Structure 1
Amino acid sequence: MVKNGYYIFLWMLALQVFASRLQAQENYEIRRIDFVGNKTLEKSYLMDKMATDEVSYLDKVFSKDEPTLFNRDLMEIEMERLRKVFQGEGFVDVKIKLDPPKVNDQKKTVHLLFVIEEGEPYTIDSVLFRFSGPGVSFNNDSLAKAKMKELKLLEGERFRDESLKEDLSVVRNIFLDLGYAYAQVDYELGLKTDRHSTSITYVVSPGPVCVLGETRLVGNKKISAKFIEKQVIYKEGDRYDKSVLDKTREDLYHLRLFRIVSVLPQKEYATLKNPIPVTLYVEEAPRVNTKFGVGYGTEDKFRTFADFTYLGFLGTARRINIYAKHSALEPYYFSFKWTQPKLFNKKGSISINPFLGINSEPGYETRTYGINLPLTYEFDNSLNSTLTYYYEKVEQRIEAGDTEVPDPEDEEYLYNKSGIQYSSVYSTAKPKFSPEQGVNISLGVKLNGYVFGGDFSYVRLWSDFRTYQKIGDCVLALRLMEGGIYSSDASGFIPVEDRFYSGGSNSIRGWSRSELGPKRESGTPMGGKSILEANIELRYPLFRRVNGVAFFESGNVWEKAFHYRLNELAYAVGGGLRIETPIGPVRFDVGVPLWNEKRSAQFFLSVGQAF
């Protein structure tokens, strides 16, 4: 009996010590949060769904963020929140527990570990449509085949709450585009717990087929109603079509004349009003926009610019732009640009762009004035192409002893350039300043001389492929660039500003600007007719608005046209920091050459990602 009482005493003592230990953890700072067993949902996604956050020591010091304090009741709430997140992702039977926290009594911090058993997810076994309402008659199979590809929750896919919400909107929009302005869509799930699957039945109440009524314009002050009405792509009496209304709003907004554009059908669900009048509301943007900027970079040193734009020139969508810039690389650059949008159709535009400036690069200095006539066509939000006719008069300052130019005895070399340039860009990369996903592909060809005149005849081609992939909290960015120049002249001379150069903050970062590639006897960059560059960069978060990067790069430039030698590639490795700002990331990079007699590191300070 005494022995049993002794064990009871020890058990109660241990329980008291453990309880006091847990009590001591209350109000300790949560320094780190980890998950184990989350095979499907990444840590970054789960952290976004939680109220609790991990705050590192650096976060506290540099961002002044207040750490989350440990609390057992709060942890119960967080586990319930995580449970709902997984159930919303199709893991209905998920189990979540919190391991005993790792405690640092000296620093008064805790490290949390959530243990997750996802279980088998529910998948979609069928997608059906059911229609209700008087006079409704649809071919279920034909509708499914025509529109099924637009849905995210298809047969065999894992069930997700967010995808279901999006698919409800997709189904409703299908009917709104077919004229059913009052269409309503609901859903029914047919759960099969024994097979961990469910069916989805979309219950559609289309309502009557409607037409568009009169459009009333509201909000315009300086821009004429007649001009705005010409941009509307529907007319009174047309069948109701939501996509057409959205396209009208998008086209008007892209004119850059308006700060706000709304195309609002005036529906009345109680009476099912038909025809449906439309209110077109606009809020005009300021006619005059002026921007100024200053900055500093290791390559262009102190830089500044001024940008003046006047919208609605001569009362239409025409605009004029005056731009001026100064930096070490461009001591001065002035440009005037007149743009006529919606040329031929709503996707085309043409500009007249006279300019003059000085380029002061490591390998050359030129003074140029001329004119560009670009014709741009925007196929969609991802793809656009530009065909430009250009004429330039160039004055090149000749370096002593330079044998490339026809008359090396002169101090200056004058020549004319005339030709066309075609470029096309396809981009799904988002977000704009620091892409985390998508691709960016640009292709271009420049035809100088030949039937267009000019002092030299040559063809310049280039391509640039970039891809971005988010991996957990990190972003893997890849770039491959290739170019070549073919000359039809006996001399083979290519103007210095059109040659390829490698090395620098946006190129191979183990070399300074234009340093990688052919050199003159004086040691200055000569440029070449062939280029090949490859970059791989891993971007990862450090704390708050500060990110780190690690990169590996290779490339080179060759004098001959379309001449690439993989065994002559130069390599560099390095890392850097990114500080997120409203104008893009401020960037600091350090690059070091590999397997090369040149071993000095290069340092770069700039704005924006390297690619």
Structure 2
Amino acid sequence: MAGESALKRTGKRFLAWTPAAFRTGKFQTVPFLIVLFFVGLAVWDAAVAASHAEKTSEERPVVRFVQFNGVDSLSPSEIKKIMKTREKRFRWFGGSPLDPEVLEEDLRRIERYYQSQGFYDARVVSHKLTPLVGGEVILEIAIEEGDPLVVSSVRLTINGQTTGPWHDDVIALMPLKPGDRFTTSGYRDIEKVLLRFFAEWGYPKTEVSLKARLDKGAHRAEVEAAVNTGAVCRFGPVTIEGNHRVDDAIILRELTLREGDRFKASKIQESQKRLFDLRLFQFVDLQVKGLEGEQTDLPIHILVKEAKKQTVRFGVGYGSEDRLRAQLGHEIRNFLGDARSLQLNAKASSLVQLVEGRFIQPYPLSLRNTSFVATGGVTREDQEAFENEKIYVSSQLDHGLFDRVQVHVGHRLEMNRLLDVSAVAADDDVDQEREEYYISSIFGGLSYRVLDDPLNPTRGVQFINTAEWGSRGLGSEVDFVKLTLEGRGYVPLERFGVMALRLRWGGIRELEDTSRVPVFKRFFSGGSNSVRGYPYQQLGPLDRDGDPYGGLTLVEGNADWRFPIRNSWEGVLFFDFGNVYKQSYEIVMDELKYTVGGGLRYQTPIGPVRLDVGYQLNPPDDPPFNRYQIHVSIGQAF
């Protein structure tokens, strides 16, 4: 049968491709099984697609490529987005048979789309199918765009006046200006822009009247916008509904609006976000009353639905570095009132075991945009270079300095006990087993984040800067200063996916009488979330047995091209570089290590499940590890 032959052929290709290291069992069993699971899904999908293509190739062709002729002013990728006829992205993935009725509707949809973009003379001249192998075709569509309608003038009147203090600012914000191509979306957005502008200045009852004179023969468009602002409005009394355990005072103090203040639309949105950020409510809605009448003091009605008092979370997962991992969390919201929160967490994996408690007090000493956080716990680290037990307590203040800018400062007290030290530095100035370290340090940091999705960002930037200072004056047995700087950026590439970039630097300096920073405070690199061509923590200084002992300077950089494949599948090609250096603030460009690789992502509600394969371009001499590295984890690398 056709399906059986496709499956057999795909299986033979897979066996021929499979590296000998897989067949001889040199890779660890569990990671190999997970890799095999990913490959199995891809093979099955390929077999189904191949079988489907064989069955349908004799009936209806499959569109491999869509090409346009005569398209100069618009983006072909944007035109493809409005079509229901889709390209087959890759040889082994996707591909639906061409539906002639859907294609005809697509051709009409293209003409309507051109008209919405100001090309009222545009038409689809012809289309044809050019055969390829295996029942696939190239769909070629010829388009005559014609000349677009251009905005010749924009006339704005505000309360009957053609000039005034607002006119220049409003004209600058208008989505259509003289010389622009007249588009339907731009014309409709004029009203939205005007209403938003005047609502920020205290005129939420503004009325907008739009007119457009289109001269299709002369390809000109004249736009008129008449604005009647109405009376200045102010915030009226605030009423609250739906809260039972949360006091009104807690809700009122989060509001950025006050009764009697001049109306400002952004304060409604800011207040709603602040209430959500309390994590006390499942639902928050701020309604402005009195917009239809003549009153100028507009009441605000807040409708909330409270979240559960307590939440218990449990999760398990697997990663190629920490193996099987589990997490248990218990949170008590509005603990003892005043929006306090108490969190108890336990985590366990082959690398880290932790039990921690966290207490959060908002508005300490009535400070706005500020929270006091107290944390304490016990943790054990079983790293490649050492095993360490730590008991710690810390307290810090978190403050929202500006929009999207957060700062924090605090104090941490640790008692560390090294249970085992595997790595031995070349200078023999090594950490000793059973050695104890008391560290008292002040820490702080600043972060800026504008991301569209914290789990799987596709647009935005993020900066994270932290500093820690330990001193004998604070009661510490180790004197040091530790700095880390990190920046991330995400650039959308339309239908081609996302370009993600990351750069990180870290430095440690010994202070006063300290000659050696203990191993658990040093930098390590390599692994699924840093330089993916290297095993976990194996990039940097190694002893004669191949064990890492860390360094005092860290440099890491990553560039990911994440592109869609099919449905929930995503591919990635990446380039990583970095290294760890023994000396403080030392960067030797010639010693940077470079890796390239690729991987797969499968999107889930908790983030993408990922498989990455990295390859070292300039490996160290006689490395105790393979030049290829496989990483399996949950979530993007950064």
Q: Where does 1:293-372 land on structure 2 (aligned, <5 Å)?
A: 293-330=315-352, 332-343=353-364, 344-372=366-394
SS at match of 1:455: coil
C-alpha contact (below 8 Å) 1:59/1:544 kept by paired residues? no
Q: 1:492 and 1:165 mapped to 2: Cα distance?
A: 68
Q: Secondary structure at the match of 2:457?
A: coil
| 1:467 aligns to 2:489 (yes or no) | yes
Unpaired runs of 5+ residues, structure 2, are 1-55
Relative to structure 1, is the Cα distance of residues 311 and 127 closer, same or farther in structure 2, using a 3 angstrom cutoff? farther
Q: What is the CA distance between 1:185 and its match in structure 2?
A: 1.9
Question: What residue identity is the alignment partner of 1:475?
Answer: V
Q: What letter corresponds to residue 53 of structure 1 in structure 2?
A: R
Partner in structure 1 of residue 605 of structure 2: 582
1:552 equivalenced with 2:575 (yes/no): yes
Q: What is the Cα deviation at residue 436 of structure 1?
A: 2.1
Residues 1:123 and 1:589: Cα distance change in structure 2 (over 3 Å): farther
The 1:501/1:152 distance shift into structure 2, 3 A limit, reads: farther
In structure 2, relative to structure 1, the CA distance for the partners of 1:590 and 1:46 (3 Å cut) is same
Return the offset for 1:517.
Answer: 0.6
Conserved? CA contact 1:295–1:303, under 8 Å: yes
- Preserved contact between residue 479 and residue 514 of structure 2 (Cα < 8 Å): no
Structure 1, unaligned runs of 5 or more: 1-23
What residue is the counterpart of 1:113 in the other structure?
A: 140
> Paired residue for 1:515?
538
Tell whether the 8 Å contact from 2:316 to 2:325 is kept in structure 1 after alignment. Answer: yes
Distance 2:424 2:172 in 1: 62
Q: Is the 8 A contact 2:431 2:518 kept in 1?
A: no
Q: Which amino acid aligns with 2:357?
A: F
Alignment counterpart, residue 526 of structure 1, candidates 530, 541, 549: 549
- 1:126-165 correspondence to structure 2 within 5 Å: 127-131=154-158, 136=159, 140-147=163-170, 150-154=173-177, 157-165=180-188
1:494 CA displacement? 1.2
Any conservation in 2 of the 1:28–1:109 contact (CA below 8 Å)?
A: no
Residue 70 (structure 1) aligned with residue 99 (structure 2): yes
Distance 1:310 1:41, change over 3 A: farther
Aligned to 1:86: 114
Quote the residue 2:313 is aligned against. Answer: 291
Q: Which amino acid aligns with 2:361?
A: Q
* Aligned pairs for 1:426-445 within 5 A: 426-445=448-467
Return the offset for 1:264. Answer: 0.8
Q: 1:36 is paired with a residue of what secondary structure?
A: strand
- Given that 1:30 and 1:53 are in contact with CA atoms closer than 8 Å, whether structure 2 keeps it comes out as no
Provide the rounded CA distance (Å) in 1 between the counterparts of 2:451 and 2:408: 20
Query: Measured at CA, do residues 93 and 359 of structure 1 come closer, stay the same or move farther in structure 2, by a change above 3 Å?
Result: farther
Change (3 A) 1:92 1:491: same
- Asked if structure 2 preserves the Cα contact closer than 8 Å seen for 1:398 and 1:413, the reply is no
Among 251, 276, 282, the residue aligned to 1:259: 282
CA shift, 1:511, in A, is 0.8
Q: Deviations over 1:427-468 (max 9, x none)?
A: 223333222222222222221225323111111112112222
Q: Tell me the residue number matched to 1:48.
A: 81
Give the fraction of aligned pairs with identical amino acids, expressed as a percent: 28
Residue number in structure 2 paired with 1:600: 627
Structure 2: which amino acid aligns with 1:543?
R
Equivalent residue runs for 1:395-414 within 5 Å = 395-399=417-421, 402=424, 411-414=433-436
Whether the aligned pair in 2 keeps the contact of 1:28 and 1:110 (CA below 8 Å) is no
**Once the 2 structures are TM-superposed, how far is the Cα of residue 559 of structure 1 from its aligned partner?**
0.3
* 2:248 paired with 1:225: yes
Alignment match, 2:301: 279
Q: Quote the Cα distance in structure 2 between the aligned partners of 1:107 and 1:400.
A: 58
Aligned counterparts of 1:500 and 1:125: Cα–Cα separation in 2: 62
Corresponding residue for 1:96? 124
Deviations 1:259-278 (A, max 9, x none): 11111122352x43443333
Q: In the TM superposition, what whole-angstrom CA distance separates every residue of 1:507-561 from its partner, at most 9, and x where no partner exists?
A: 1111101111111233210111112122222122221211111112221111011
Deviation at 1:404, TM superposition (A): 8.8
> In structure 2, the residue corresponding to 1:390 is in which secondary structure?
strand
Please give the alpha-carbon distance, in whole angstroms, between the structure 1 residues aligned to 2:498 and 2:411.
Answer: 39
Distance 2:288 2:138 in 1: 54
SS across alignment from 1:34: strand
> Structure 1 counterpart of 2:487, which letter?
F
Tell me which residue corresponds to 1:207. 230
What amino acid does structure 1 have at the position aligned with 2:108? E
Deviations 1:162-215 (A, max 9, x none): 344444223102222333232122323355668856454332122233334333
Q: Distance in 2 between matches of 1:451 and 1:36?
A: 72
TM-score, normalised with respect to structure 1: 0.86
Q: Map residues 20-31 of structure 1 onto 2, 5 A cutoff.
A: 28-31=60-63
Q: Within 1, Cα distance between the matches of 2:522 and 2:149?
A: 58
Relative to structure 1, is the Cα distance of residues 68 and 188 closer, same or farther in structure 2, using a 3 angstrom cutoff? farther
User: Which segment is superposed worse, 258-267 or 210-219?
Assistant: 210-219
Change (3 A) 1:590 1:41: farther
RMSD across aligned positions (CA): 3.0
Please report the TM-score for the alignment, with normalisation by the length of structure 2.
Answer: 0.82
- Report the counterpart of residue 47 of structure 2 in structure 1: none
In structure 2, distance between residues paired with 1:128 and 1:518: 69
The 2-side partners of 1:425 and 1:153 are apart by 37
User: Once structures 1 and 2 are overlaid, which stretch shifts more, 188-197 or 280-289?
Assistant: 188-197
Specify the SS of the correspondent of 2:456. Answer: coil
* Pairing 1:243-254 to 2, within 5 Å after superposition: 243-254=266-277
Corresponding position of 1:16: none
Report the residue type matching 2:307 in the other structure: A
Aligned partner letter, 2:636: Q
Report which stretch shifted further, 50-59 or 483-492.
Answer: 50-59
**Cα deviation digits, residues 107-149 of structure 1 (max 9, x gap):** 5554423334545555556544213xxxx47684421334555
Task: Answer whether contact 2:120 2:216 (CA < 8 A) is retained.
Answer: no
Closer, same or farther in 2 for the Cα pair 1:128/1:431, shift >3 Å? farther
